[in-house]
């Protein structure tokens, strides 16, 4: 990878992690306050002199619906989460697979026994989320069947007999001055995957938040070494 591409990958992870926080804040705010009262047309002006107007009526209608739903899952929060997760994990996977120096550094951090599970967790989640925007994310056979066949050929400490186990303990991986008593795990049994299965029943959303955060923290630390 060239330095320019590496900078793009780092930016992709940083911006999406920032957007995950910012837009999730707005999604929650929209259920707590009736922001539709502030809706108005937004006129966008472009460098070539052209312009485009975003409809205040459409904004008002959407914000009213979000406020009425209150605590229910809404399209705004789900859209933000799914896209941020997808792009953070995609960027991390691309960097690992195309930059040997970075791959070797990640390997030194998370150790060999975790590397296979880390890479294939990223690939599995990215595949599933790349073709889903519905809050009820379900498995589609074409998103996991090829990966499933690959998993069956791997025998390591973290992947064996079609079962993947990833455990991330911050104190064992990142400097002890970072977060203490903070860990998560991912367990996927590729023998039992079924199409139309609910994805977040396999990997809870909270775990994907923590995986995305871990990818972000990895690159923050990598920039200091």
What pLDDT sits at residue 77?
81
Number of domains in the chain: 1
**Is residue 184 assigned to a domain?**
yes
What pLDDT sits at residue 167?
93
- Residues 158-206: pLDDT tens digits? 999 999 999 998 888 887 656 667 899 999 999 999 988 999 999 999 9
Question: For residues 100 and 114, what is the distance between their CA atoms, to the nearest angstrom?
Answer: 17
The whole-chain average pLDDT of the chain stands at 90
- Beta bridge partners of residue 71, listed in sequence order: none
Lowest mean pLDDT among 21-25, 75-79, 174-178: 174-178
What pLDDT sits at residue 85?
95
- Burial (0-12, 13-18, 19+ Cβ within 10 Å), 91: buried
**Is residue 144 assigned to a domain?**
yes
- Beta bridge partners of residue 189, listed in sequence order: 163
**Is residue 199 assigned to a domain?**
yes
Range of the domain at 145: 74-222
**Is residue 55 assigned to a domain?**
no
**Taking 60 as the threshold, does the pLDDT of residue 71 lie above it?**
no
**Taking 80 as the threshold, does the pLDDT of residue 13 lie above it?**
yes
pTM of this prediction? 0.90
Model confidence at 136, pLDDT cuts 50, 70, 90, reads confident
Question: For residues 62 and 30, what is the distance between their CA atoms, to the nearest angstrom?
Answer: 10
What pLDDT sits at residue 177?
57
Helix (H, G, I), strand (E, B) or coil at 50: coil
**Is residue 38 assigned to a domain?**
no
49: left (phi over 0), alpha (psi -120 to 50) or beta: left
What pLDDT sits at residue 176?
66
**Is residue 150 assigned to a domain?**
yes
**Is residue 60 assigned to a domain?**
no
What pLDDT sits at residue 188?
96
Model confidence at 75, pLDDT cuts 50, 70, 90, reads confident
Side-by-side strand order, sheet with 183-189: 159-160, 163-169, 183-189
**Taking 90 as the threshold, does the pLDDT of residue 2 lie above it?**
no
% residues pLDDT > 70 (the chain): 95
């Amino acid at each position: 990878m060239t330095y320019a591409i590496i900078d793009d990958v780092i930016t992709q992870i940083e911006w999406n992690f920032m957007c995950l926080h910012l837009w999730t804040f707005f999604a929650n705010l929209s259920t707590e306050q009736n922001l539709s009262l502030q809706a108005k047309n937004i006129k966008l002006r472009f460098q070539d002199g052209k312009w485009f107007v975003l409809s205040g009526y459409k904004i008002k209608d959407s914000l009213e619906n979000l406020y009425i739903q209150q605590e229910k899952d809404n399209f705004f929060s789900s859209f933000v989460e799914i896209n941020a997760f997808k792009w953070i994990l995609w960027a991390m996977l691309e960097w690992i697979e195309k930059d040997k120096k970075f791959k070797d550094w990640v390997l030194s951090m998370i150790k060999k026994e975790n590397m296979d599970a880390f890479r294939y967790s990223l690939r599995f989640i990215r595949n599933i989320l790349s073709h889903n925007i519905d809050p009820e994310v379900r498995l589609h056979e074409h998103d996991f069947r090829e990966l499933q066949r690959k998993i069956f050929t791997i025998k390591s400490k973290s992947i064996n007999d079609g079962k993947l186990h990833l455990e991330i303990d911050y104190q064992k991986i990142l400097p002890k001055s970072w977060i203490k008593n903070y860990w998560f795990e991912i367990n996927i049994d590729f023998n039992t995957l079924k199409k139309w299965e609910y994805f977040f029943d396999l990997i809870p959303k909270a775990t994907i938040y923590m995986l995305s955060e871990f990818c972000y923290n990895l690159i923050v630390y990598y920039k200091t070494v």
